[in-house]
Amino acid sequence: MLRIAVIVAVAALWTMASCTDRPSSLSLTSPAEGNRPPTVLSARLLNDPLSAAEPAAVQVVAEDPEHEAVTLSYQWYVEDVPLLGETNSTLSSAKFRRGQRVSVEITPADAKQKGPSYRVPPVSVGNAPPVVRSAMIVHHNESSGNVIEALVDASDPDLDLLSVTYRWYKNQVLVKEGEEALFDAGEVAVGEAVVVEVTARDPSGASDTARSAPWSMDNRPPRIVSTPPVPHTSESYTYRVQAIDDDGDDLVYVLETAPAGMTIGERTGRIDWRVPQDQAGVQHVKIVVKDGRGGAALQEFDLQVTPLPPAARPGT
C-alpha cells in the first residue's frame, strides 16, 4: 500500500504544476527572447588597391545562428569620414581619388534584430592607368603633304597628362615607331596595308595597346602643292595651280566656285581673271583637281577686290 500511495502523490503534484498560471521552470524561453543576432564572419574589398577606373565593391560572409535570412546594410568611408547617402554594396569611383583611403562598415540583420557592425580595413586608392578606347587611320591630302594620321580616343581616369606612342606597320612589318601620329602616305604603294598600334602612358603606368583596322591606298589622290599668290594689281589676277599625282594619273583642273569671268585651264591649271570694277569686296575661289579615278584635291581661298579710284580707271 505504501508504494501505491507514493505514486499517487507524485502524479497529483505533476497535475497541479501543469495547471498553474505561472510558467514551469522546465519550459523553454520564448522565441523573441532567445533569438541570437547574425554576425559578419569576414569582409574584404574586392579591388586592392582601388583605382579611379572602377567602383569599390565589397565581398561579405555572414551567418545567422538560427539560419534566418540575413540582410546587410553598408556605410562607406573616405579618410574615415562617412559619405552621406553611400549605403549600397558598391561605391562609385567618382567618390574617391588617388592617395585616399577607403573603407566600409557592414551591419547584418535578421527579421528580429541587428547584429554587431563589421568595419573593413581601409584600402588605398592607387594609380588608374590610361584607357585607349579606339584607334583609326585617316588620310589627309593637302598642300602641306600627303599623309595618313592615327586618330586616338584615349583618356586617363586620374586626369593625368598622357603621352602616346605609335608603332606603324606596313604589310605586317614595323616601319616606324615613336610619338608622331603622322605617316607619309607617299611611302604606301597601291594595295599595301598599313596598321598602327597605339599605347597611352601616364607618369605611373601604361594602357593596353589598341590596334587600328588596316588601311590601304587603292588610289592615291592628287595633291595641290602651290599657294595662291597675292594680287599685284586691281585689274587682273593670274595663278598657276600646281598639283602632283603619285600614281601618275592625268589631272583635270576645275573651278567649282569662282567670281564671274574667272577661268582655269582644264589641263594646265592656269587661272586668269580680268577683275570687273563692279565686283568689289571678297570673292571666294574653290579649285578641284581630279585624277579620273575618284581621287580629288581641293583648295579654297578668298580674294579681296578693291575698286580703282575714278581718276585711275582706264579711259578717264
| pLDDT tens-digit readout, 242-286 | 999 888 899 999 999 999 999 999 999 999 999 887 777 889 999
Mean pLDDT of 223-240: 89
Mean pLDDT of 217-222: 80
SS3 content of the chain, % helix, strand, coil (to 5): 10, 45, 45
The pLDDT value recorded for residue 313 is 53
CATH class held by domain 131-216: mainly beta
How do residues 25-66 score in pLDDT, each as one tens digit?
Answer: 323 334 446 789 999 999 999 999 999 989 999 999 999 999
The pLDDT value recorded for residue 189 is 84
- The grid coordinates listed for 233 are 594689281
- Considering the entire predicted model, what is its pTM? 0.55
Q: Which helix (H) or strand (E) holds 5?
A: helix 2-19
Quick one: what percent of the chain has pLDDT higher than 70?
85
User: Is residue 206 very low, low, confident or very high in pLDDT (cuts 50, 70, 90)?
Assistant: very high
The pLDDT value recorded for residue 314 is 55
Residue ranges per structural domain of the chain: 35-124, 131-216, 223-310
Asked if pLDDT for residue 13 goes beyond 50, the answer is no
DSSP β-bridge partners for residue 216: 193
Asked if pLDDT for residue 23 goes beyond 50, the answer is no
- State residue 19 phi and psi, 5-degree precision: -95, -10
- The grid coordinates listed for 95 are 567618390
User: Is domain 223-310 classified as CATH 2.60.40.10?
Assistant: yes
User: Is residue 219 very low, low, confident or very high in pLDDT (cuts 50, 70, 90)?
Assistant: confident
The pLDDT value recorded for residue 316 is 52
Q: Answer for the pair 73, 87: CB distance below 8 angstroms, yes or no.
A: yes
Residue-level length of the chain: 316
User: Is domain 35-124 classified as CATH 3.40.390?
Assistant: no
